[in-house]
Structure 1
Amino acid sequence: MTGRPDRRLTRPAWWFVAGYGVSAIGTGLCYPFLAIYLHQVRGLPAGETAVLLLVLAGAAVPMSVYGGALADRHSPRVVAAGALVVQTAGWLVLAAGRGYAAELAALLVIGVGTGLFLPAVIPVIARLSRNDEVKVRTMSLRYLLLNVGLGVGGGLGGLVLGAATDSTYRWLFAADAVSCALYAAVIAALVPLPAGDAAPGRRRAARVPFRPGLSYALLLVAQLLLVTFGMAQQDSGVPLAVRTDFAGSTALVGGLYAVATFVVLAGQLLVSRWVERVHKTRALITMSMTWAGAWLLGHAAGTVAGDAQVALLVAMMVTFALGECAYSPAFYTLVEQLAPPGTLGRSTGAAWATFQVGNTTGPPVAVYLLSTSVPFWLVLAAAAVLAAGLVLVIDRRMHATPPPVPAPAMSGAPS
């Protein structure tokens, strides 16, 4: 009789995810208020503000791919710590610099550091996890602490910036730099990887080709659909639809997001226990269909008014948030399972780059859809169903029984 798998995180894994949460507090202090600072406090025109924000987001996409290659050739721990040092430098330049050129350089450096950091996260977690159950739990804790950190940081930032001056913003940027530097120090001092951290020869690792198969390519397409028509719409399309199509108040929008945040915080570890027990393709299919159901609730909310409409919108956000709890542990475990040997960094980097593309294109897609007669909620639901179909193909391929190997032919006649 076999015992139950050990689900306990190692001490280095705890330090890694705890540091992630602390760094997320710094992110929450600054990211939600960057556009406000640049446009209203600094007085930059809308076009120049948009360019700066696009530089920040755009730099992360190619650097995610490059960072993944670095994580394959070198220690992902070293890549992660170095990337955080780069982010620290960017936030310090933004805190101390003056003028458009300094802000452009700062946001470019921050984007580069962010892109380099993200593809190292999953390889570090994979190396720190003794089995798949621990891996799923660590990814779930990372996502949970990310949300907690962003919420705490955003709340503190909102309080501090109630009557803010230029110098107040700069102190917050410096605080984010400190959070990045602290996390880099934690990784360097307290997150040793198991034997092999130094990578078994750079030249040998560099020659491993990155040739993802069909299943991995389908997974990236599914992710692009889920982010563009899912996560990005929750952040941009939902508030816009509530305000324009439903004539809802900003208080309603805030309340809906408070509900979703509470569901993620309360349900993340419970959902991850379920994800541990099922195949990750089936967890991702269930999540996609759950999101489709959430968007159908949004469509139904457009057919009623008053308290019934509010109730359906709340149900939509609860349903979406429950599905979201499965995303990180299921998706990135699949990335590891489908990555060709020796290419986990590049596979993760490609996944992060796809996420960035979907997250960047999602808001303009929302604006376009809501400005036309296209049924917004039904389009989102259809995209979720299509993503589920793509993952179903992956599931069938992963569970296909390999054909029997024919026995070798006997040479010569029997004696």
Structure 2
Amino acid sequence: MQSVPVRGLIPQLPRRAWLILGGDAVSALGTGLTLPFFLIYLNQVRGIELGTAGPILSTVAAMGLVGNPVGGLLTDRFGARWPAVTGLVLAAAGTAAMIGVRSAWQGFLAAGLYGLGAAITEPSFQALVGTSVPTDRRSQVFAVRHASLNVGLSAGGLLAAFTVSFSSAQSFVTIYLLDAATFLVLAVVISLATRGHRQASPIAAGDRRVPPETQAARGYREILTDRVLLPIWLSVVGVFAFGYAQLYSAYPIFATRTGGLDAAGLQLTLVVNTVTVILAQLVVLRLMDGRRRTRGFALSAALMAAAWLIVLWAATGTAGSSAPAGFAVAMFVFAVGETLLSPTLPAIVNDLASDSTRGRYNGAYSLAGTAGIVIGPAVAGTVLGAGHGPALFACMVLVLGLVALQAFRLERLLPASANLVAATRAGSAVQVGQGEGTRDG
């Protein structure tokens, strides 16, 4: 097999896209600084009981149930630029407010403000990312975003390891100020990158859609009747509730309590996951050249299911001395599944939307992810608390398997133009016809 040079793996994206993705990576670095220490900061530094600190952290995700649809609606009404900037400013204010938290109500207020701002930003930012490239580069730009996010989060976590001292409140003040600053950096980048840019409105001839202002006023009822969007929405809830959300909720508890993995071993397996995402994302994107997005999504869900099956095998004693290696393999497999998701569903959603509905389509997509993140840990806590860990992971495997099968049903509903990953190689072209992709050159 002919080797692929590193430069050949990097998609050719417009300068505007790279600016937006760069700002996003800087913001992710700030999140990596603070998020791992959220509960530690509230409990050990500010003296708030863990029983209260946990719900304060949950407030961040819960605000997405409000902020995601609001952000999508504002994007369709006013364009993506100002909702994104406004959300980032709110998130920065909430992050900075964490410095002054001394009581539970202040923690809830700061976390709520941060969560609302981040939630408003997400659908508008997704719309900005989706429109920063030609339609045939949407899979590439969302894949690059996933890789750069992981790079930023990892760099932030590494920097925090050398910055934070549990005995020093000032070190936490420093990282929260840095985190707030990175939100503002992204806001400035978006303002500069989108200045003078007008979003086109390529409404097809014969399309009887009403003007954007009227559509935005209708809210979400119109798009939620989309027979293609609904199965996508349910699939996203399934993948996030029983995939992503369990990576930091059920998996650590099950692997350590039932599987006997120590803290260092657990951290090592999570590092395997992150490093795999960073190194494999662009390789996987290249391998998907000219292939159907729905097939990539089906394989993504199947690999996540396989990862939990390996965890179940490693934790229940049948793996024996191979259990630690089994957990590491599971995290590798899960990471490859992640890299297959990023260039598929977000790109499909943006291809299905028109410019006048793009915000709400992305708002619905973000809301599905938020719902999964809220549902997943709640289910995990209840079932693991009752001592049914193996049953939980077996059910997670089943649900993700059903999501993979749903992807093949989705394939029959999607227009061919929304179901193909364009080639990343310079000079190559992908032609779409009758639902099939062919490579030219």
TM-score by length of 2: 0.83
Say yes or no: does 1:375 pair with 2:391.
yes
Distance 1:374 1:309 in 2: 15
1:360 aligns with 2:378: no
Conserved? CA contact 2:269–2:328, under 8 Å: yes
Which deviates more, 302-311 or 236-245?
A: 302-311
Which of residues 197, 200, 223 in structure 2 aligns to 1:211? 223
Once the two structures are TM-superposed, the CA of residue 244 in structure 1 deviates from its matched residue by 1.2
**Counterpart check, 1:298 vs 2:314:** no
2:67 is matched with 63
1:250-297 CA-partner distances (Å, limit 9, x unpaired): 111011111111111110111122334212111101111122222222
1:170-319 equivalence runs, <5 A: 170-192=173-195, 194-196=197-199, 203-207=213-217, 210-212=222-224, 213-301=226-314, 302-319=316-333
Q: In structure 1, how many angstroms separate the alpha carbons of the residues matched to 2:212 and 2:355?
A: 15
The one-letter code of the counterpart of 2:404 is A
Bigger drift between 367-376 and 254-263 goes to 367-376
2:408 to 386, 392, 400: 392
State yes or no: 1:327 paired with 2:345.
Answer: no
Higher mean alpha-carbon deviation, 237-246 vs 21-30, is at: 237-246
Contact preservation (8 Å) 1:128, 1:194: no
**What is the CA distance between 1:205 and its match in structure 2?**
4.9
Which letter does structure 2 place at the counterpart of 1:390? Q
Tell which structure's C-alpha radius of gyration is larger: 1
Deviates more, 1:52-61 or 1:91-100: 91-100
For the 8 Å contact 1:292–1:382, the answer to whether it is kept is: yes
Change (3 A) 1:201 1:214: closer
By how many angstroms is 1:313 displaced?
Answer: 1.9
Equivalent residue letter for 2:16:
P
The residue type equivalent to 1:337 in the other structure is D
Q: In the alignment, is the contact (CA less than 8 A) between 1:124 and 1:193 conserved in 2?
A: no
Asked if 1:85 corresponds to 2:97, the answer is no
Q: Report the Cα distance in structure 2 between the residues aligned to 1:316 and 1:112, rounded to whole angstroms.
A: 33
Q: CA–CA distance in 2 between the matches of 1:30 and 1:273?
A: 33
Letter matched to residue 169 of structure 1: F
Structure 1: state its 5+ residue gaps.
Answer: 1-5, 401-415
1:74–1:202 Cα contact (<8 Å) kept: no
| 8 Å CA contact 2:310, 2:326 repeated in 1 | yes
User: Does 1:349 find its partner at 2:363?
Assistant: yes
Aligned amino acid, residue 293 of structure 1: A
Structure 1 counterpart SS, 2:70: helix
- Listed as ranges, the matches of 1:92-107 within 5 Å are 92-96=96-100, 98-107=102-111
Residue of 50, 53, 56 corresponding to 1:52: 56
Partners in 1 of 2:176 and 2:115 — Cα distance? 14
Q: What does residue 429 of structure 2 align with?
A: none
- Give the partner amino acid of 1:21: A
> Does structure 2 retain, via aligned residues, the 8 Å contact 1:55–1:108?
yes
SS of 1:248's equivalent in the other structure is coil
In the alignment, which residue of structure 2 is the partner of 1:411? none
Instruction: Give the one of 122, 144, 152 matched to 1:141.
Output: 144
Q: Deviations over 1:91-135 (max 9, x none)?
A: 222224554443332222111101110001221122211232x22
- Range with bigger deviation, 90-99 or 386-395: 90-99
**Residue 164 of structure 1: CA displacement?**
3.6
Q: Does residue 33 in structure 1 map to residue 37 in structure 2? A: yes
Quickly say closer, same or farther: Cα 1:7–1:250, change in 2 above 3 A.
Answer: closer
Residue 189 and residue 340 in structure 1: after superposition, are their counterparts in 2 closer, same or farther (change >3 A)?
Answer: closer
Please say if 1:168 is aligned against 2:171: yes
- Matched residue, 2:424: none
Q: Once the 2 structures are TM-superposed, how far is the Cα of residue 374 of structure 1 from its aligned partner?
A: 5.0
- From the superposition, tell whether residues 97 and 369 of structure 1 become closer, same or farther in structure 2 (CA, over 3 Å): closer
What is the rounded CA distance, in whole Å, between the counterparts of 1:280 and 1:88 in structure 2?
Answer: 35
Letter in 1 for 2:143: S
Please tell me whether the aligned partners of residues 61 and 353 of structure 1 are also in contact (alpha carbons under 8 angstroms): yes
The number of equivalent residue pairs is 394
Q: CA deviation at 1:198?
A: 11
Residue 24 of structure 2 corresponds to residue 8 of structure 1: no
The residue type paired with residue 56 of structure 1 is V
Q: Which amino acid aligns with 2:216?
A: A
Q: Secondary structure at the match of 1:214?
A: coil
User: In 2, Cα distance between the equivalents of 1:47 and 1:366?
Assistant: 17
AA partner of residue 370 (structure 2):
Q
Structure 1 counterpart of 2:430: none
How much is the aligned-residue C-alpha RMSD, in angstroms?
Answer: 2.4
Higher share in helix: 1
Secondary structure in structure 1 of the residue aligned to 2:388: coil
| Alpha-carbon shift at residue 397 of structure 1 (Å) | 2.0
Normalization by structure 1: what TM-score?
0.88
Q: CA deviation at 1:337?
A: 3.1
